[in-house]
Amino acid sequence: MNLLQLAELDPDKLQRLTAPIAFWTDLRVDDQLQFQLLMESSQLVELTPGEILGRKGTRSSQIFSLVKGSLDVFPETMPGDRALSQLSPGQIIGALGVLNGEPRTATLAASTIEGAQVIATDLAISGRLTDFSKVNLNTKIRLYRNVVNNTRWKLEVYKNSTNDLTLKQELSLFKPFAGERNSKEELEFLAEQCEGLGILLDCWNVAVEPTIAITPVKAESAIGKVFGMFKKSKESA
């Protein structure tokens, strides 16, 4: 795992890096100061094939933005030979547990074929839900909307993979906000939806059978890495 502080990148490179993520692109355009604030709490994480990014049951204040490669989602603490789903670039991942203050509901691992590159953002600076001293109201609403919409989309996909009518009916109970947009009331409403969707997603991760076959990590990739390190040490000797 390689780490790079995003504050070290020049603006053009940072813009290209965050371009696949609609949340970051919109925030950069609408509020450059908030964008820079969150980038100062972010790192670029490069994962080797099969490397674990986040483990089920653990707690963290980091959310992830997948910018390159893919991530496999597993229902247990260790990756298996079958995954629940595979995530592609453009998504914010792992935010539900962070926003709810709950343990992660699944294990995330980089693709066993190509690895992955993610932006890890520490939301510890966000403070409590209604603390707007650093991360303002609009930014929080933008993030919560993104998480709610992505989670609902994921659950709609899961809905076609189970015959559990109770879970399907529970998903239909989540209605859109009907009040004043961009208000404190909308933020509180979205926070409540995040809590409910988090519980529902955890139930579905148990109910849905993992069906996506995972290609084993090639042994030569690990050998090649060791050989590369050996060669580099020899050259510097």
Q: Containing domain of residue 72, as a range?
A: 2-223
Give the up-direction half-sphere exposure of residue 171: CA atoms within 13 A in the CB hemisphere: 23
Q: How many CB atoms lie within 10 A of CB 206?
A: 9
CATH code at position 14: 2.60.120.10
Asked if residue 66 is part of any domain, the answer here is: yes
Contacts of 84 (CB under 8 A, 6+ apart): 73, 74, 75, 106, 205, 208, 210, 212
Asked if residue 228 is part of any domain, the answer here is: no
Total domains in the fold of the chain: 1
Name the DSSP letter for residue 111: B
Per-residue pLDDT at 153: 87
Question: pLDDT digit of tens for each residue in the chain (237 aa)?
Answer: 888 888 888 889 999 999 999 999 999 999 999 999 999 999 999 999 999 999 999 999 999 999 999 999 999 999 999 998 899 999 899 999 999 999 998 999 999 999 999 999 999 999 999 999 999 999 999 999 999 999 988 888 777 767 777 777 888 888 899 999 999 999 999 999 999 999 888 888 777 788 899 988 864 443 334 334 334 444 444
* CB distance 119 to 17 below 8 Å: yes
Asked if residue 234 is part of any domain, the answer here is: no
Tell me how far apart the alpha carbons of residues 27 and 5 are, in angstroms, rounded to a whole number. Answer: 19
